[in-house]
Amino acid sequence: MIDLKEQAGLAMNVRGQFSDPIADPKVTLGALAFANELGRLLWRMKYGQDFRLRDSEGRTAIHRATLLLANCIRSGGKFSRGKFTGLTQSARRDRNAGRKFERETADLIEKLALRAIMEWIDDRCPRCDGRGVIGRALADVVARTPCTACGGTRFVCVDEYRIPFAARPDGKGPIVYRDMERCGACSGAGHVGVADGSRRAGRQICPDCQGNGSRVADHASRARAIGVSMRRYNSHWHSQFDVVFSLLDAVDANAHDTVRRLVQR
């Protein structure tokens, strides 16, 4: 018996001859209709891969889900519209004085909700595709050879000139000054990698996700997506992503319980 989430995904898409048979797609979709609106949208986007759904006002599914999740975040009172206006201190001073002002962090909660939904939907590691292991593919064999530009010394001479009327301490010749720089061909390593055929790579744990199959969090992209600096993200918004992910998991579990209860009747 397939999982209810997979069953809902099959019911939302066109069934072909290679898809798994399910009892009745209308029963699954009818049970999903009794879940809350945010849960229905999350199931359609994540398990059904349906992003084209629009409401009566023309909003897409991702836009509608973003507004609903932002409303849930604001319902706690910490980020209410009355307290959290998205204005800096200088902009608030200009607003009180009657001058023109600009909202630098407008709709930050909606940006947070949109980023969290996108990461929650696409949560599989891109390198191993969520399997946690990689291998069984052809990999290039790289052999180390000495750098031909620097001869393995890691530095190259870019300029040299002799100092007039100066001799070496041993009296064997004039002093020669050489301007040395790190070799650009090998980046100062003294050796370069040369492809020497290919071999079949063995099965190993994915180095990106460490075998859990989940996408690694990109904190710099998160800070850029919500429009704050890394310093503000690390001090205020890093923990908020974990709170929002917990909220999305709770909504998903609530929708799963609703569908399971109605399907088993």
**How much is the pTM?**
0.64
pLDDT at 213 (0 to 100): 86
CA distance 80 to 74: 5
pLDDT at 244 (0 to 100): 92
CB contact at 8 A, 193 and 143: yes
For residues 227 and 121, membership in a common domain is answered with yes
CA distance 45 to 64: 12
Q: How many domains does the chain have?
A: 2
For residues 180 and 153, membership in a common domain is answered with yes
For residues 194 and 114, membership in a common domain is answered with no
Question: Any bridge partners for residue 133, and if so which?
Answer: 205
Give domain status of residue 74, yes or no. yes
For residues 109 and 236, membership in a common domain is answered with yes
For residues 144 and 244, membership in a common domain is answered with no
Q: Which residues of the chain have pLDDT under 70?
A: 1-2, 14-23, 53, 55-58, 77, 80-88, 101-106, 136-141, 165-168, 171-173, 197-202, 265
pLDDT at 26 (0 to 100): 77
Q: Which two tokens stand for residue 255?
A: 């929708």
If you count them, how many residues does the chain have?
265
CB contact at 8 A, 34 and 262: yes
Q: How far is CA 1 from CA 7, 23, 25, 59, 263, in A?
A: 9, 11, 15, 36, 13
pLDDT digits (tens, 9 = 90+) for 136-172: 666 666 788 888 888 888 899 888 888 776 666 776 6
Give domain status of residue 90, yes or no. yes
For residues 122 and 236, membership in a common domain is answered with yes
Q: What is the number of H-type helices and E-type strands within the chain?
A: 9, 6
**Three-state DSSP class for residue 197:** strand
Tell me the H-state helices in 98-218: 108-121
List, in order, residues 6 or more apart from 50 with CB less than 8 Å away: 12, 13, 44, 61
For residues 116 and 228, membership in a common domain is answered with yes
CA distance 57 to 70: 18
pLDDT at 82 (0 to 100): 59
Domain limits at 250? 4-126+211-263
pLDDT at 115 (0 to 100): 93
pLDDT at 109 (0 to 100): 85
Average confidence score pLDDT of the chain: 80
For residues 19 and 72, membership in a common domain is answered with yes
Q: List, as one string, the DSSP characters of 238-251.
A: HHHHHHHHHHHHHH
CA distance 185 to 155: 10
* Neighbour count for residue 237 (Cβ, 10 Å): 16
* Domain end position, chosen among 167, 200, 233: 200
pLDDT at 103 (0 to 100): 60
For residues 150 and 29, membership in a common domain is answered with no
